Amino acid sequence: MFRPRFPVIAQFCTAILLLIQCTTSSEARSYETEHYKLDLVTVASGLRNPWALAWLPDGRMLVTERIGRLRFVEKSGKLSKPIAGVPKVAFAGQGGLLDVAIDPDFKTNKLIYFSFSEPGGGGRGTAVARAVLDGAALRDVRVIFRQFPKSGGGVHFGSRIVVARDGTLFVTIGERGQREKAQDPSINRGQVIRIHKDGRIPDSNPFVGRKGYRPEIWSYGHRNPQGAALHPETGKLWIHEHGARGGDEINIPEAGKNYGWPVIAYGRHYSGAKIGVGTHKAGMEQPLYYWDPSIAPSGMAFYSGDKYPKWKGNLFVGALAYRLVSRLELDGGKIVKEERILTELRERIRDVRQGPDGFLYVVTDGSAGRIIRLVPTGR
């Protein structure tokens, strides 16, 4: 038997071997899908209720935690200390620090945008801020949108941010649990809004100058939209929104259109009661796709990379209640097939993103949330 001359070296070698074994066994688990076998590789862990991810040009990620922390994730997966300068958030219920988006010209202007539940007179409401990311701190932080009016309660903030091809910002906002107000365009409840990057209202918005309508509104009659992405070919905004006990929807919100909540919807209220007048009403739009019962969708991404060729052009939606990822196949502007993947993961999926490396990433929601890379290993 080999006996090392120096016991300290032997202990060190044993520790390294154990570390390698633990890392290998805990970082990757395999899951079968229709087209691929996937290894799920944990990129970062130990996050407290992470909500969103975004990539910086240097390959690092920004990740939000609802508690009010914004952090870097290094390429190695190491988490930074919290970035300084994040404003106070109302961390309660579904509220906190929520989405984050990188300006397309970040290399020159260092701008980021983030949404959060902002405390203030009347309670709290969805707000969007922009800031310069200066090293490990935010400076020149300025709120460019505030939901009006604020209200009590801790639900339905919506809160996805999408930078449109024309440089404007789309922001989704929920109806704050006040479903009867989602049809009132004089306030901000259950809408997609559209603003310039500095908060100004685009002249081309559908309700500019119209009495009784807030000019930032793009579309209304939504419930709680927590997923949004631009179609890679058409450049159109797609969103999904939570239904009640059923009726989660995917919509392509068009300027000035009313998407019906709570007058029409699929599914029923949590009490079992009928929603509104049913599923149709003149002047109100039908969803492109819906789930009944509800999967509680959150996070959304179109796939346009080359790591999973058979998935190119597919839409991926995370699910909180059903703890899975829904893969949706498209035929033009229609959804023609759904495959539910990662059902064995048994973790709430909060966000789904395509990374600059072409891999899909999911963010799990929990007190020990993590970021996971989906790596295809063949079939």
Determine which one of 35, 156, 269, 280 is catalytic. Answer: 156
Sole residue written with tokens 């309670």 = 123
Distance, in Å, from the CA atom of 315 to the CA atom of 250, rounded to the nearest integer, reads 11
Burial of 87 (0-12, 13-18, 19+ CB in 10 A): middle
Is 240 among the residues known to form the active site?
no
Residue 74 structure tokens: 């290094």
Question: In degrees to the nearest 10, what's the CA dihedral of 265, 267, 269, 275?
Answer: 40
DSSP reduced 3-state for 10: helix
Contact 242, 262 (CB under 8 A): no
DSSP state of 344: T
Residue from 194, 189, 200, 132 nearest 162 by CA: 194
CA 227, CA 374: separation in Å to the nearest integer?
A: 20
Active site residues: 156
